[in-house]
Structure 1
Amino acid sequence: MIDARRGILYPARMPEFHRLPPPAEAAELVEWFWIPEWSIEPGRTSRQHVVAYPALNLVVEPRGVELVGASTVATHRDLVGRGWAVGALLKPASVAALVDDPSALRDDSTTFEAPDLLAAVTQAMETGDGLHRERAAQVFADWLVEQIGQVAPAAHQANEMARLLMADASITSAEDAAARLSMSLRTLQRLAHRHVGLPPSAMIRRRRLQEAAQRVREQPEIDLSTLAADLGYADHSHLTNDFRAVLGMAPSAYRSS
């Protein structure tokens, strides 16, 4: 199981935030739905920093629907005023049905024309009756199931690939994953390109960095050399270089912040 706590760099700064599992009929399409709701005082901004999962997100907000590609560096968003969003962290099985080339969206996003999805999610969120989030996730899931239809065998393989790369600490290389899935390295690379838009090695790297950030955050006394060894890095410097390249700071600086 992918750890839903990973990825958010400063949890204490988050507005009201919920993660909901998909209903059974959408379990092969969505890892989870994420729903922030915020009300920021006039004149203030709440900056949210994330080292995102190597996956695409389909995001509904009152202003429209956006398909957000996999990122290679930490990102942030500034929240102002009042608002909400309903996002689906898409499993690879969803991606091929929604976009021809997910690698073209790497570190980018595009408007996604889905007026019926926008209307259904907006109606659910604006009821404000305490069950609005569950209702929004359900109509979102229903829309995805209708759009994508039956999941093809290759898409099932892509889901299993992502599960191994992002949740199995014993997988330390693309070759490990290919062997576990009984496929060639080239086939694995094609799956990742078509269904995620990143190479398998980048997905493994993201898992290790997310876990590193989480452990630094939750165990501030942890020795960084020990952490590097636990996560399969050659040494402390290798971890620091990876951390700085993606998060823009060294682990020690993140711990201080």
Structure 2
Amino acid sequence: MKIPDSRRGAAAGHPRQTVGMERTPRRGVEEIRAGERSGVLHPENLRTFHARWITPRGPAGRVVETYWHVRWALPDGERIEQTIVDRPAVTLSIESGDVVAPFVVTGPRRRAWVRTISGSGDVFAARLRPSGLDVLGGVALPTLVDAVVPADDALCPGIHGLLRAVGRARDPQARADVFDELAARCLEERPPGPAQRLADAVVAELVAAVRDRTGAPFADGFGVSERTVQRALRSTLGMGPKAIASRIRLQEVARLLAGPGVDDLARIAAELGYADQAHLVTDFRRTTGITPGAYRRSLDGRRS
């Protein structure tokens, strides 16, 4: 079984020897589809929403991996419990409707998490590259790991001001335009240092080559020590390379299990670089709270 290439925001042409970012892509708007590596464990729910990726443009692509926009309007009394295994990242969002706050900072997650969706609402968000929080002048990372924090003026005035300016724009693409401009200004004022650039390049590589194993040989490809990679990732995402690689790999496991006719765990484990099927099962259960088999059966139950 060949693992299909279905990555979002991965570097195109990503030599490990260069600690930097890929070329800035042109603006694009694409539907978030069930068959891609989105981290949404029940991708059939995406049909309920108006969900789109919006590509950052210009220098902003060095700190923003992707923008995304979701709009929903559910009947009265209907609720969706959406479980997500997201990529370790800091996300800045502007939200309306039945939401936590109008401006939100969501930190990297070490486990799957659940968002309850009801009523009607709208979210425009920017998923940052590892360097993004430092460049944009955000809050201290330790307060964000496994947290959802209202981006109020007292806690994080820089982020609050940025999101308030972006939120004045009339529609998602206009908001992306404003965010692009403000991010470019921040890059001029606070360009990422070597550790931040290394973290960006490492995560881009792990996203692009989901089978990669971390450790000394992996770090050698960037011309640095394993310890240097660990420090760069912990300072920007609060997690080590093994945990980040595991999360990205689990997103691919979930994507494959949610697809039609793919249920051979031993072959998936081999293709994705797990030691064996047992390691895949343990990793999946530890992160999501259920086994791959139970997850697959839950999908089949929803389809029937």
Query: TM-score normalised to the size of structure 1?
Result: 0.90
Report the equivalent of 1:120: 165
Equivalent-residue separation in structure 2 for 1:68 and 1:170 (angstroms)? 27
8 Å CA contact 1:92–1:158 kept in 2: the answer is yes
Write out per-residue CA displacement over residues 72-117 of structure 1, whole angstroms, 9 at most, x where no aligned residue: 1111111122111111110012122334642432111222234443
8 Å CA contact 2:40–2:84 kept in 1: the answer is yes
Structure 1 runs of 4+ aligned residues shifted over 6 Å read: none
Report the equivalent of 2:12: none
2:230 pairs with one of 177, 189, 197: 189
Matched, 1:102 2:141: yes
Report the equivalent of 2:254: 213
Report the equivalent of 1:55: 89
8 Å CA contact 1:166–1:203 kept in 2: the answer is no
Query: What is the deviation of 1:65?
Result: 1.6
Report the equivalent of 1:11: 43
Query: What is the deviation of 1:148?
Result: 4.2
Report the equivalent of 2:280: 239
In structure 2, the CA distance between the partners of 1:237 and 1:3, relative to structure 1 (3 Å rule), is: same
Q: Partner of 2:223: helix, strand, or coil?
A: coil
8 Å CA contact 1:165–1:200 kept in 2: the answer is no
Write out per-residue CA displacement over residues 178-227 of structure 1, whole angstroms, 9 at most, x where no aligned residue: 11111011111110011111111101111111111111111433311111
Matched, 1:144 2:176: no
Equivalent-residue separation in structure 2 for 1:95 and 1:176 (angstroms)? 28
Equivalent-residue separation in structure 1 for 2:162 and 2:242 (angstroms)? 34
Moved more, 81-90 or 166-175: 166-175
Equivalent-residue separation in structure 1 for 2:186 and 2:77 (angstroms)? 41
Q: Partner of 2:283: helix, strand, or coil?
A: helix
2:210 pairs with one of 143, 146, 169: 169
Report the equivalent of 1:68: 106
Equivalent-residue separation in structure 2 for 1:12 and 1:187 (angstroms)? 40
Q: Partner of 1:220: helix, strand, or coil?
A: coil
Higher helix residue share: 1
Structure 1, unpaired ranges of 5+: none
In structure 2, the CA distance between the partners of 1:190 and 1:25, relative to structure 1 (3 Å rule), is: same
Equivalent-residue separation in structure 1 for 2:295 and 2:277 (angstroms)? 15
**Paired positions, count:** 251
Query: What is the deviation of 1:119?
Result: 3.5
Equivalent-residue separation in structure 2 for 1:39 and 1:19 (angstroms)? 19
In structure 2, the CA distance between the partners of 1:110 and 1:193, relative to structure 1 (3 Å rule), is: same
| Aligned residue type for 1:31 | E
Equivalent-residue separation in structure 1 for 2:229 and 2:160 (angstroms)? 35
| Aligned residue type for 1:212 | V
In structure 2, the CA distance between the partners of 1:89 and 1:2, relative to structure 1 (3 Å rule), is: farther
1:78 pairs with one of 116, 120, 129: 116
Equivalent-residue separation in structure 2 for 1:146 and 1:64 (angstroms)? 24
Matched, 1:93 2:131: yes
Q: Partner of 1:42: helix, strand, or coil?
A: coil
CA RMSD of aligned residues (A): 2.0
| Aligned residue type for 1:237 | A
Equivalent-residue separation in structure 1 for 2:163 and 2:106 (angstroms)? 16
Equivalent-residue separation in structure 2 for 1:167 and 1:220 (angstroms)? 24
Query: What is the deviation of 1:18?
Result: 0.6
Q: Partner of 1:169: helix, strand, or coil?
A: coil
8 Å CA contact 2:141–2:236 kept in 1: the answer is yes
